[in-house]
Structure 1
Amino acid sequence: MQNYEESRARLVERFETAKRETPEKFKNRLNLSWSNWGFGLETLEQTASRLQKAGLSFIELHGNHYGDSLGYDVAETQKILADHGLTTAGVCGMFSEDNDLASNAPIAQQRALDYIRRELEFCQAMGGSYLLIVPAAVGRATEYDAYEFERSVAALRSVADEFEPHGVKGAIEPIRADETTLVHTVKDAERYIEAVGSPGVQHINGDVYHMQSSEWNIAEAILSAGDRLVNIHMADSNRLALGSGSMDIDAIIMALYLIGHNAPGRYVTPEPLGAGSSPYAARNGKTDPVILDALVCDSIEYFRHREEALLA
C-alpha cells in the first residue's frame, strides 16, 4: 500500500474498533454549521432562509464589525436567526492587511486589536462559542520581515485575556502558505498558542482545504489537534461543494468522531469559497442565489450521506 493507504487502513481499524467497543460515543451526530461570509452582499435574512431550508441549526457569522458603525446589529441578528431556527456557532474573524496582527505598521495592529474587541462583544451577545483568529493577513503571502511571529504573538497577547470573561474561545486557524505568511499547520498553531500563553486562546479552527496543502495527512492532523479543535471548515478538494471533488470525506468524519467532535460546542462548518489566493473578495460580491442554494444543499446532503454510511 501507499503511505496514505496505510494511514487510512489504521484509521479505519481504529474507528471500527471504537464504534464496536464504545457505541455510546457515536450516538450523537456532528453539529453542522455554515460560514456565511462567502455569500457576500446578500441579506442575512436570505442566508438564514437558505440554511433553514437545508435543515441546518447553526451558523458561523461573518465577523463584519470592521468599524464602530459597521456590521450586524445584535438585536436584528438575534431576531433573524430566531425566526429561522438558527443558533450562532461562532464568529469568523477576518484579518486582511488593514487589520493584521503581524503587521510592521502599528496602526494596522491596533486596528486588529480593536476589531477583535468588537467581535468579542458581538460573539458574546450572540451566544457564539468561538472567535476565529488568523495570526497574519489573509491574501498576503510575502513576509514583511523575519519578526512577524513575535509581533503577532505580542499583539494578540495584549487582548487574549479578554476572551475568557466574554465566554468565547480564541480559535487559531492554520492557512496554506499561498494565502498567508504565518501558521500553516496544526503544529504551527499549537506553537503559536503556547507562545501567546493565555487560557483564552487555546483552540484551533481547522480547514480541510488548507490542510490538503499543508499537512501530510488531513485525518492525522485532526487526530493531532484533538480537543483543541473547536470547529473545522469544509470544502472539497476544488474548494467547492462537498462531493464535487476528490477529498476523502469519510476519513475526515472518522477522525472527527475519534476525537469526540460530535459534542456540544464543536462544529463542522462548510466554507466552499472557490480557488484563489485572496478569497476575501467574496465578502463584497454577489452570486446567483440558485447557485448558492445548490452549494448548500449539495454539501449538507453529501456530508450527512457519508456520515450515515459510516455509522449505520
Structure 2
Amino acid sequence: MSVQNYIIKNERIRNVFLELKQSGKFNGQQRLNFSWSNWGFGLESLEDTAKRLQKAGIRYIELHGNHYGGDLGYKVKETLAVLDEHDIKVSGVCGMFSVDNDLSSNRAVHRQAAIDYLKREIEFTEAVGGSYLLVVPGAVGRAARYDDMEFDRSVETLRLVADLFVKHGVKAAIEPIRSAEVSFVHSIADAQKYIRTVDHPGIRHINADIYHMQAEEAHIGESLLAAGEQLVNLHLADSNRCALGEGSLDLDTVIMALYVLGYNREGRFVTPEPLGPGGDPYPAMYGKPDKALLDHMVIQSAAYFREREEALLSQPGHS
C-alpha cells in the first residue's frame, strides 16, 4: 500500500538527517538551544518564572516585550539580577503588537505607537543581552483587513526604525501568524516577501511558530528548511497548543529539519509558547497564573523535547 504524501516528505528529511549524521560535518555534541517565552505566564513575577525555568533545566528565556509606555515593563538592572541569580540568559524579546500599536494601522497614532514601542524594545533587548526582537507586521487578534494598503503601511513604518536594529545589534525576527489571528503575513513565504520588500539589513530574520505553521504551511519540516539561515527562533507548542507531547505534533521531523539546517549553534533558539487553543491569545498576558499548570507545562515540554532529541541523535546514520 502506498503511503501518504506527508510521510514521503517526512522520510526525505529523515534520510538527509541520517546521512548528515554519518558525514564528518555533523556536530552531534551541540544540542539545540532551548528557551521559553514567558508572556503567556500572565501576571507572574519574573522571580517565580526564573525559579521554574531553572528547575526544568532551561537556561534561556524569551522575555515578554512589556514596555508599552515609558514607565512600564521590565527594568534592565532588576531583570538581569533576577536572571543571573538563576543562571538564565535572555535569548530574545517577544514583541507584542495589538491594534493599539499596529505597524499597518490606518490610524497614524497607532503606527506612531508601534514606532515608539519598537524604540523602547530594541534598546531593552540590547541592554539585557537578547539577540532578536520578534516583530509582527499586523496586529494580533485582528483577522479582518483594514484595506488593500496595510502591507505597504507596515513596510513603510518598520523602515522608520530599521536602522535602530543595526545600531543596537538586534535581529528583527518577522513572525508569520495564522489567518485566524492576523490579516496578512501568514506563512514563511509571506514573511520572506515582507523582508524583501522592507529591503533593509536590519530586517532579515524570521521567527517561525509551529502552531501557526500547522494551519498555514503545506509541510512544517519543508517550510523550516525553506526559512534557512533567516530562521532565528522557533516557537513551539503541540498540535493543541498545549505542552509538547500532549498532542499529535510530529516533533521528530521538526528536530531533524533543524539539525539539517545546522540550527544547533549559538544565536538560534527553540522556544515553547504553549498558550492553549483559541482565537486571540493576548489576554493571557494579563491572566492570573496557575502555578501548578505552568509547572507541569514547562517540565513536560522540556523533558519531552530533550527525550525526542536524544532519541534521534542516538540513532545510527546510514551505512
Would you call these one fold, judging by a TM-score over 0.5? yes
- Once the two structures are superposed, what CA deviation does each residue of 1:29-69 show, in whole Å capped at 9, x if it has no partner? 00000000000001000000000000011000000000000
Unaligned runs of 5+ in 1: none
Residue equivalent to 1:289: 291
Q: How much has 1:23 moved relative to structure 2?
A: 5.5
Q: How much has 1:287 moved relative to structure 2?
A: 2.6
Q: Does residue 312 of structure 2 align to residue 310 of structure 1?
A: yes
Please identify, of 17-26 and 261-270, the stretch whose mean Cα deviation from structure 2 is larger: 17-26
**Cα distance between partner residues in 2 of 1:70 and 1:250:** 40
Q: How much has 1:27 moved relative to structure 2?
A: 2.1
Q: Does residue 279 of structure 2 align to residue 277 of structure 1?
A: yes
- Once the two structures are superposed, what CA deviation does each residue of 1:151-192 show, in whole Å capped at 9, x if it has no partner? 000000111111011010000000000000111000000000
Residue equivalent to 1:235: 237
- 8 Å Cα contact 1:26-1:257 kept in structure 2: no
Question: What SS class does the counterpart of residue 212 from structure 1 fall into?
Answer: helix
Matched residue count:
312
Question: What SS class does the counterpart of residue 193 from structure 1 fall into?
Answer: helix
Residue equivalent to 1:173: 175
> TM-score, normalised on structure 1?
0.99
Q: Does residue 237 of structure 2 align to residue 244 of structure 1?
A: no
- Once the two structures are superposed, what CA deviation does each residue of 1:194-243 show, in whole Å capped at 9, x if it has no partner? 11111111000010000000000000010000110000000000000000
Q: RMSD over aligned Cα, in angstroms?
A: 0.7
User: Percent of counterpart pairs with the same letter?
Assistant: 58
Unaligned runs of 5+ in 2: 315-319
- Once the two structures are superposed, what CA deviation does each residue of 1:116-173 show, in whole Å capped at 9, x if it has no partner? 0000010000010000000000000000111110000000011111101101000000
Q: RCO greater where, 1 or 2, for CA within 8 Å and sep 6 or more?
A: 2
Which stretches of structure 1, 4 residues or longer, exceed 3 Å deviation after superposition?
A: none
Question: What SS class does the counterpart of residue 133 from structure 2 fall into?
Answer: strand
Counterpart residue type for residue 93 of structure 1: G
**Cα distance between partner residues in 2 of 1:195 and 1:3:** 33
Residue equivalent to 1:213: 215
Q: How much has 1:286 moved relative to structure 2?
A: 1.1
Q: Does residue 47 of structure 2 align to residue 48 of structure 1?
A: no
Residue equivalent to 2:224: 222
- 8 Å Cα contact 1:234-1:269 kept in structure 2: yes
**Cα distance between partner residues in 2 of 1:22 and 1:271:** 34
Q: How much has 1:2 moved relative to structure 2?
A: 1.1
> TM-score, normalised on structure 2?
0.97
Residue equivalent to 1:76: 78
Residue equivalent to 1:118: 120
**Cα distance between partner residues in 1 of 2:186 and 2:28:** 31
Q: How much has 1:276 moved relative to structure 2?
A: 1.1
Please identify, of 286-295 and 227-236, the stretch whose mean Cα deviation from structure 2 is larger: 286-295
**Cα distance between partner residues in 2 of 1:160 and 1:277:** 30
**Cα distance between partner residues in 1 of 2:160 and 2:26:** 42
Question: What SS class does the counterpart of residue 136 from structure 1 fall into?
Answer: coil
